[in-house]
Amino acid sequence: MRVRFWGTRGSIPVALTSADIRRKIERALALALEKGVNTPEKLQTFIENDLDFSVLQTYGGHSPCVEIETGTDEFLACDMGSGARAFGARIMARTMAGVAPVVNIVMSHVHWDHIMGFPFFAPAYVPGATLRIYGCHDVIEQALRLQQSAPCFPVDFSRLAAKIEFIKLQAGQTADIAGFRLTPKLQRHTGNSYGYRFERDGKSLVYSTDSEHKLEDPAETASFVEFFRNADVVIFDAMYSLLDAVSVKEDWGHSSNIVGVELAQMAGVKHLCMFHHEPAFNDERIQSVLNETVRFEELTRGDQPLKITAAYDGMELDV
Amino acid sequence: MEIRNQTYGDVLVLSPEGRIDHANSENFRNGLTPFVERCTSKGEKLVLDLAGVDYISSAGLRCFMLAEKQTRSQGGTIVVAAMQPVVKEIFEISRFTLVFATFATVREALAQLSPAALKALEAGK
């Protein structure tokens, strides 16, 4: 099972500024000077070994869209945030001329950051293409039509050429989608959100974003531990620090890196992938949060180590 | 949870022990509540002496947050002292150091909060 992240930022897309790029270059050159890089060979080694991710690359700024490769001609993704535009372009590039794509989309919820890429999702405009949109909310079709209504968007939903189907899922009831066994779970978020556990060939992936965890409710904690149980990868809403999550941003519907590690440890998860990054954070800050989270896991590790990563736009994971 | 307490002048030092985790955080909160209620602008200042605490989970930290919120609303003062290295790191990673004043020792906390309390400590009572 291969997972490809097209959008990993929460709430609103962000972009690197010219000042951000300049700062990366300054940091890289300062370190190169310090390391005595003065040949092309040394430069290559320096780039490979000495620059951390936040200098060399970027976490990106698109809002949530996560593709799961199906191994067939069909496509599958969670959410249609702004990352869906590039995902759609990739589908068009990968689909042979004359073949209409079939795309399965599983929606966590319909807040704007999770649907805003849909009007720019090229397969929706292809005659003969099929889009199957799955989710537990009753309002998915309404939300997608609304955001393409005048005066907000120039192309009305009714003008989309693809065959678009809406398929309702029920929390706790498994469904078979694009070769995966899928189990939805209700999550705490304004207007509700749903997490999804994907299973196939003995491997399991949980997509759990926009989910607040109330620490005072042991039953709720236990239900998430069971949902995450022994998962190979959990993609987790780690938008806030724990302090923010239990104080000024309580009831804002998101969680923290600390709670992510604790739940994953209790559930015996192998890999926790932090997701839905705070839009106010730059690459250095996200890298710093990742480093701290790795350290927190070391401090609290039980019998089994937990791998921790921070998702970035363009990242691929083999589950 | 039993929380040892010792008064020094106008400061009350609370000394929980062991782990404060998901299993016992509510007990910890219940044990803390009567002391927090007394921590007003005219009441005792509180020092949480964490020398005997070897682990705090997110549920435990939430109890700290609730205590801080209540004391602040009452005009009181609550600080943290004598954290073990692991607990100190958890505090920092969780960003709780942004809302709690922390001190390396109880003595340092008392010195900051109240000369009378420090004097009482040094007098051995």
B30–chain A Cβ distance below 8 A for any pair: no
B84 touches chain A (CB under 8 A): no
Tell me the CA distances in angstroms from A122 to A95, A129, B15, one per residue in order: 12, 10, 62
Please report residues of B whose CB lies closer than 8 A to that of A259: 58
Nearest residue of B to residue A292, measured between CA atoms: B93
Q: What is the pLDDT of residue A98?
A: 83
Predicted complex ipTM: 0.91
Amino acid in position A206: V
- More reliable by pLDDT, A293 or B43: A293
Q: Are A7 and A63 in contact (CB under 8 A)?
A: yes
Asked if residue B93 lies in contact with residue A260, where contact means CB atoms within 8 angstroms, the answer is: no
Backbone φ/ψ region at A167: left (φ over 0), alpha (ψ -120 to 50), beta: beta
Q: Which amino acid is at B51?
A: A
Q: Are A238 and A209 in contact (CB under 8 A)?
A: no
- Comparing alpha-carbon positions, the chain A residue that sits nearest to B97 is A243
List the 231-250 stretch of A: residues with Cβ below 8 A of B. 241-244, 246-247
Alpha-carbon span A101 to A87, nearest angstrom? 12
The pLDDT mean for chain B works out to 94
Yes or no, beta carbons of B59 and A216 under 8 Å apart:
yes
Rounded distance between C-alpha atoms, residue B28 and residue B14, angstroms: 12
CA B101/CA B93 separation, integer angstroms: 15
pLDDT along chain A (319 residues), means of 10: 98 97 97 96 96 97 98 97 98 89 98 98 97 98 98 97 98 98 98 98 98 89 97 97 93 96 97 98 97 97 96 97
Q: In angstroms, what separates the C-alpha of B114 from chain A's closest C-alpha? A: 28
Contact A215 B59 (CB under 8 A): yes
Tokens representing A104 are: 């399965």
Q: Name, in order, each residue with C-beta under 8 angstroms of A62's C-beta and a sequence gap of 6 or more.
A: A6, A7, A8, A9, A13, A81, A82, A83, A86, A117, A313
Task: Map residue A124 onto helix, strand or coil.
Answer: helix
Q: What is the pLDDT of residue A96?
A: 82
Report the pLDDT averaged over residues B59-77.
96
Q: How far is B97 from chain A (nearest CA, A)?
A: 9
**Minimal C-alpha gap between A295 and chain B (Å):** 9
Nearest-Cα distance to chain B for A245, in Å, is 9
Q: How far apart are CA A265 and CA A164, in angstroms?
A: 40
Residue A280: strand, helix, or coil:
coil
Q: How many CA atoms lie within 13 A of A181 on its CB side?
A: 9
| CA A291/CA A63 separation, integer angstroms | 23
Q: Do residue B65 and residue A246 have CB atoms under 8 angstroms apart? A: yes
Set of chain A residues whose Cβ sits within 8 Å of the Cβ of B70: none
User: Looking at residue A117, what is its pLDDT?
Assistant: 98
Q: Provide the Cα torsion A63, A255, A200, A65; round to 10°.
A: 0
Cβ-based neighbour number of residue B107 at 10 Å: 16
Pairs of residues, one from chain A and one from chain B, whose beta carbons lie less than 8 Å apart: 56
The pTM of the full predicted model, rounded to 2 decimals, is: 0.95
Determine the pLDDT at residue B124.
81
Inter-chain contact B57–A256, Cβ cutoff 8 Å? no
Residues A169-198 as b/e (b if ≥16 CB within 10 A, e otherwise) read: beeeeebebbbbebbbbebbbeeebbbbbb
Look at B22 and A215 and tell me if their CB atoms are within 8 Å. yes
Q: Tell me: cis bond preceding A119? Omega within 30 of 0 counts.
A: no
- Those of residues 166-225 in A touching chain B at CB distance below 8 A are 215-216, 218, 221
Residue B125's pLDDT band, with cuts at 50, 70 and 90, is: low
* Mean pLDDT calculated for residue range B11-15: 97
Distance from CA of B118 to the nearest CA of A (A): 31
| Extended strands (E) in A23-122 | 65-68, 75-78, 102-107
Retrieve residue A238's tokens: 């780690």
Give the pLDDT of residue A216: 80
Residue of A215, A274, A293 for testing the chain B interface, max B β-carbons within 10 Å? A215
Q: How many CB atoms lie within 10 A of CB A152?
A: 9
Residue B123 sits at the chain A interface (C-beta within 8 Å): no
Task: Enumerate the residues of chain A whose CB falls inside 8 A of the CB of residue B26.
Answer: 216
Give the span between the Cα atoms of A85 and A274, in whole angstroms: 22
Contacts of A222 (CB under 8 A, 6+ apart): none
Cβ separation B98–A258 shorter than 8 A: no
Given a cut of 80, is residue B1 above it in pLDDT? no
Closest approach of chain A CAs to the CA of B45, in angstroms? 22
